[in-house]
Structure 1
């Protein structure tokens, strides 16, 4: 059902109600609101726990159309740290318990799949990390290995295998991680990817890994014959000189659309390696991040953290300006992320032509926020408890939660 909403400069434009059901590929979501992937720090043995189930059950019961499990690595060495789940037969029973719990709340559930590439913690994972070139990760104090053509082929196949595991575990969708300078994104970045072979140089070459991952996952899903949605998370820009630019990201998105492997694209920004706060607008939690590590890394973060954690002021729908450039040139469904915390920003996203919205920190603070916004109706009085302090970011090293409200547990 469509409703007409008056907006400045667009007084007669009709757009979908964000609470109306929507098709995501072969899957119907009860509304257009997605809980974005945020590492839960709830899997100490790299397997599903009751804590992880609770973490996702709360926003599912709280009204989201779909929740996204992060981060399910395609290989042991593809994890950002060793507690994360990686796809293997031993993980499937617990993941099936998780999907069943979410379905019981009336929501859908997506599995974010990917390889962290140079962001992977080789020390914690006790496995080799891979990057376009030999690359030093200061958090793990280890070098990532330059990926060979065979390594790339193996990682692409691992994504396809992960999609098959996701179907077996009962997921409704998979989200392929193509952002934040993880494996595929690091190949896209001209700053990191200094190769001179078929995977380096031109954007067409640098995009081969991202396109190959999506094709492999789509082919795996189609062969299985079980209808699940395939989405991807793509960085629009790294926010650093010499990194991924909007123009290059838009061209990559056009190629992904032409390839036909995606049911929707979620637009993100920033780099886990060089500029994380470009995605997490608001306060830069340098003190909290330093406290999460042991010396000497703690001292290093305290001394240089303000250079790494650059502070960007928060504003509602802060990625919308860049995302509109993608909306103007793409036909595929797009998911707007970034500063979606209230009914006004949700309606604005719908009016601008985005099919879905995604949110994370606001739901971490209040898992029932969506039900409260829906019950509020046209009053538009409900406001998120999230203060954009970003102190929740440092809790991913212990147990992810909102330090303001204490949620989710």
Structure 2
């Protein structure tokens, strides 16, 4: 059987194949962050036929201060749960599993969107956005940890199959992980384990909120691809700690480079990072990044670069991509 078509059991999460639709922002939510008819239609179209085993819903904000953009989905209060139930149900009816990604934009937020001053680990200019955030106190960090846990509880209540914590693409948790933006001298700064202290606290709080059997994924911006930024070696240390803390899947992407590798357009351009992380953890690893050909996906799995393959832009551009890919290798 082709690697791409092999099932995978991850705790309570039974996947029919190795094909994942990764989170991609659509800006289709209502202005208040609630699920819209446009969002429902979009995910219904993308998951029709059950060719994707897993769909990770686009990043959704855990509190107003962490809202990244207009028309972003919200998991910030209980009023969104009913709409999220509809979204989970549509994906399930189409034969896929559904995971929701929860996020805080940190210093990548815009006061024009949130109404408040952006926050971050240190009062350091955001390399992607340019603004200098308010440096969070320990107490303020604790409040955000609580909001991540509450958001995860809502994801479970809405009927999703798991929750993904977002620590990539230069957003809040990535800002703590990266030395480019984390210059703290307290326990939340310094070496890698200091810089991921907040991650470990969020993982513990989320686990307490969702229970032992609910899958937790973590999207890791595994390299900033810039001098002084995070490296694959940092991500090996972090991934080991995340796995030990109870994360069930590591989802590899870029850090402050975003979802690209500068100057690299090859299929699966994050493969060196996913392979490095796979060396040090026994939990499944997702690889995304420029994968548009089914044979490339198959070869990356065969070479042991990852356990699951995320295909984003190709599915975004062609809702039948997964169907055609699966049928071509059956």
TM-score range, shorter chain: over 0.9
Secondary structure of the corresponding residue to residue 59 of structure 1: helix
Aligned to 2:63: 75
Aligned to 1:301: none
CA distance in 2, matches of 1:142, 1:196: 21
- Superposition RMSD in Å: 1.9
- Where does the alignment leave 5 or more consecutive residues of structure 1 unmatched? 4-15, 282-310, 379-409
Aligned to 1:247: 233
Aligned to 2:284: 333
CA distance in 2, matches of 1:315, 1:233: 21
Aligned to 1:377: 329
Aligned to 2:221: 235
> Contact 1:123–1:140 (CA<8 Å) still a contact in 2?
no
TM-score, length-scaled by structure 1: 0.75
CA distance in 1, matches of 2:276, 2:171: 23
* 1:2-401 correspondence to structure 2 within 5 Å: 3=1, 17-45=3-31, 46-62=33-49, 63-87=51-75, 88-136=77-125, 143-222=132-211, 227-259=213-245, 261-271=246-256, 275-276=257-258, 279-280=259-260, 311-353=262-304, 354-377=306-329
Aligned to 1:306: none
CA distance in 1, matches of 2:13, 2:276: 27
> Contact 2:59–2:166 (CA<8 Å) still a contact in 1?
no
Distance 1:123 1:140, change over 3 A: farther
CA distance in 1, matches of 2:127, 2:231: 24
Q: How big is the shift at 1:180? A: 2.0
CA distance in 1, matches of 2:124, 2:74: 23
Q: How big is the shift at 1:138? A: 8.8
TM-score, length-scaled by structure 2: 0.93
Q: How big is the shift at 1:345? A: 1.9
CA distance in 2, matches of 1:182, 1:264: 19
CA distance in 1, matches of 2:60, 2:282: 29
CA distance in 2, matches of 1:319, 1:138: 21
CA distance in 2, matches of 1:322, 1:142: 29
Secondary structure of the corresponding residue to residue 20 of structure 2: strand
Deviation readout 1:168-198 (Å, 9 max, x if unpaired): 1111111100112211111111121111111
Q: How big is the shift at 1:250? A: 1.1
Deviation readout 1:264-306 (Å, 9 max, x if unpaired): 10111131xxx33xx335xxxxxxxxxxxxxxxxxxxxxxxxx
CA distance in 1, matches of 2:194, 2:280: 22
CA distance in 1, matches of 2:128, 2:217: 29
Aligned to 1:397: none
Aligned residues: 326
Deviation readout 1:298-357 (Å, 9 max, x if unpaired): xxxxxxxxxxxxx52411121112321222222111111112222212212322332211
Deviation readout 1:10-55 (Å, 9 max, x if unpaired): xxxxxx6322322133111222111000111101422111111121
Deviation readout 1:203-244 (Å, 9 max, x if unpaired): 221110111111211221117xxx432101001100111111
